[in-house]
Structure 1
């Protein structure tokens, strides 16, 4: 098993996207990339912690590669937006790849370079590529939030 960590705006939709991929064995939404220990959602939203809303993705590399997960990451959001995704504004919604080893760092950089060179984007990529640090799981009500709302109301909430 292996782990990848991505930030691409509101973590509810990002989790939903990765959770559906064959070979992904688990997802956890949480906070990372900041300086505050054990932050709460309220603290992260206040903008004082430096953390991004992120998704930790556990996966079986024999069934899905890190490079395939990177492709999903780029397609799941607008990597040219700085400190926001759609209507969600603040550095907690920034685009970031948090690598867990040198192989992931190299793959993330190469993937970003390919996207930049493809000409598919009209603006510069704002995505940060940073070493993974402590990851603080979000409160339970955020875990699989879209699934919970769909089960409760019959409708999945929109997320950027």
Structure 2
């Protein structure tokens, strides 16, 4: 039996992040949920998180089988599906709840994240990756109406920064260098 791994990632408004990961990885990830992590308040609500006083980030939390998709592959996509160089912001969404964040579940995940950041930073040229690396403590499930929101509400707001880019496009936009596969 293969061990189940968990990823918890913040990349702005969780509706678009959830949709992006579900589209990209499909059946390779399971039990994807949106919610909150990284803050100080127990059982936060969306209203609480939006005040900016809880330090929670809007995140996606999902299980993955490393035999199907590696954590490094997940993070490679993560860095290509949003702008990790904008501090506490994605598009028009501003605040610490929209920060680019990786909540690592093990020292191995932390090490992989550090390696991926080092590998992809050159693509962003002089713009520094502002993604936080934070130890995972707790995931608080978001309200049910937020789960799979953009499927339930096809005309709902989707942050314009949530789409898959190639490393070539990123390197061109940021006057950077395409990362190597190492």
TM-score (norm 1): 0.92
- Cα displacement (A) at 1:98: 0.4
Moved over 3 A (4+): 119-122
2:153 and 2:58 map into 1 onto residues whose CA distance is 19
- Structure 1 window deviating more from structure 2 (119-128 vs 57-66): it is 119-128
Aligned to 1:158: 158
Q: Check conservation: 1:85, 1:93, Cα contact below 8 A.
A: yes
2:29 and 2:146 map into 1 onto residues whose CA distance is 19
1:75 and 1:67 map into 2 onto residues whose CA distance is 12
Aligned to 1:77: 82
The root-mean-square deviation of aligned C-alpha atoms, in Å, is 1.2
- Cα displacement (A) at 1:69: 0.4
Which of 125, 128, 150 in structure 2 is aligned with 1:124? 128
Aligned to 2:176: none
Q: Check conservation: 2:15, 2:158, Cα contact below 8 A.
A: no
Q: Check conservation: 1:44, 1:51, Cα contact below 8 A.
A: yes
1:121 and 1:148 map into 2 onto residues whose CA distance is 38
Count of residue pairs the alignment pairs up: 155
1:156 and 1:45 map into 2 onto residues whose CA distance is 18
Aligned to 1:65: 70
- Consecutive unaligned residues in structure 2, runs of 5 or more: 161-182
- Consecutive unaligned residues in structure 1, runs of 5 or more: none
